[in-house]
Structure 1
Amino acid sequence: MMPADNHTFFAPVTYILTGIPGTEESHVWIAIPFCLMYVTTLYGNFLLLFIILTEQSLHEPMYLFVSMLATADLLLSTTTVPKMLAVFWFRAREISFASCLTQMFFIHASFIAESAILLAMAFDRYVAICDPLRYTTWLTKSVIGKIGLAVVTRSFCIIFPLIFLVKQLKFCRTNLLPHNYCDYMGVARLACDDITVSVWYGVAVAILAIGLDAVLIALSYGLILRAVFRIPSKDARLKALRTCGSHVCVILMFYMPGFFSFFAHRFGHIIPGYILILLANLYVLIPPMFNPIVYAVTTKEILKRVINLFYRCCSRSFLLSPRRQQKMLWDLEIKARFSLEL
């Protein structure tokens, strides 16, 4: 896309977010499920972080990685959803260029970070199942801290050039951004410069960063499944599969909307714009909401502590006697154990 000679270039001061074009009359109603999903995301991830950080027994590699994932989920959703709701409900559509770049940076950096965390979690499960004797010596707290630092550094180094490329673009068209948050390609398409470099850098990031992470995760779980089916004990096999099942669900919820949205934006020109934007909203709404639910329901240790916390809140509210409190706690633990066995 080359600029014409008679175009007047300008540095955008603000952008106008249009929301989801073609659905303006339904914006108020669309925002309701978005708001409910965001509240669920906040409550679930903060609860998960509180339980993991306050329970000393959960300061193990698997749960520390879960806490990292919850932090990335909170950052991803909080960066986008409040402004999205403001656009839908209060028509607060203006966003400054600096705020737009900041939002864009944190959206894409969070996405890259989550991908790296999921890869680290796959490695954690691989070591725990395929080489359990070295688990405690390989995945120490020091190593996990270095992995967390590497995740942050990698995300910054990959996404910063995107922001630099956008800042170098010259704009001569409208400042109307047909989206409900600042997406990289959405902003780049408003430029009058040739954005070939920007497009191919985005493709390279998708293939070499996100795609490579997905391939390594698939390889890890292939090796895990091979090791699991070699275990002679049926109960041990089921326990291992149950543990990995929650991770696989989280991985699919993360990668499928993200990849579909990425390729639809770049190659799906026949798809209506409002569908593309709705798909783009999936990977900032669905994974952050469902991740804590999946881990709370499928992980026995986390589920037990969620039940204990819920029970304490209920007992304080209703002022139950200690004997009645103990009986309720036993009943909840029995139900939780029964549901996990199923």
Structure 2
Amino acid sequence: MTEETNSNPQEATETPAPEPTNESQPKETKSEAKGKGNNGAAKSGPPPKKGAPNSRRRNRPQPAVFPDRGVTTMRTPIQAPMASNMGMDAATNILDPFETKVGYLYHFTAKRLKYSTPEERIESLQELIDTHMKKTLNPELLAERIAKVEQQLESVGFDFDSLYADAQNFHGSIQSPRGKQLLEIIVDIDRYEAMRAAAWLHGLISDKHHASEYYRYKRALEKFYRAIERMSDRARERNINPLVDSGSIWGWTRAQLQERSQKGQKGQGKGNGQAKNASDSDSASRGNAEAAPEEPASEEKPAKGNGKGNGQASTAPPADGESSEEEASAETAPAPSSDAPADTASSTTST
């Protein structure tokens, strides 16, 4: 008989699908578990976005946004009349970037360096900026040159109020005492430029002197700003301390670092010498121990009777005369008889 197959597909038995196990189910993330309530049901509302930034970290204040109010303040608007193009360009292109660079130097000095106190470090930074300002711009020499040109213009009856008849008003802002000091120097340079131009028009100074003084202060302003910019960029990018010549954030100078390195080399050399001497002594003692002959483990003790005589005979050989006499007596002496006692034979051989 042939087996009958079920041709109706509806009547065919369907195998039940396997139930999903816990391993196949995706694991519940922390955000989903946090979104559920006490009864395990999900809370109403849209699901949190993946990769959303943390609100606390995002709202955390940054040092650049909130500067230290002990050394800088909020930007204060200020205006000043400028009688020359050089003064206007310098105030427009240098003052605001200078305040930004100095603000970061204050932050770096107060927060990043690892020695003394923040107040002492900030005071050192202010002295460094003042030193650069006096070295490049030299306000005292500038005041002397302004007074000299004023005397020359007074001799021809020049009206000084006419200098600012067509002046341009500079509108800017400052946020530190060093920025205010720089603006005052720029105003003095602008006045000196305008007065010198008037003296040149009246034939009081030569063309060469007028041009050389113009380029002198133009380069001085650029040089001063480049020095501050270089210090700020090195501190920001390479973490270099501008207050010491070595750039160490711990305040070590080059002389101190060199002295420390020399002390370390001396101590290392001394330790190497001691180790070398110890190794030499160990190798010498090891060589001596290998070269020395080995002593026998045990020595046989000589016999009591003949040990002393044999030892003396082996160590000290007899003289020539004695050996000949003994040999002669041994040849002439008759052999002992067998009947003689043992005492007589031993006495004969000893004589």
TM range (shorter): under 0.3
Which is richer in helix? 1
Based on CA coordinates, which of the two structures has the bigger radius of gyration?
2
Higher RCO by CA contacts (8 Å cutoff, separation 6 or greater): 1
TM-score (norm 1): 0.25
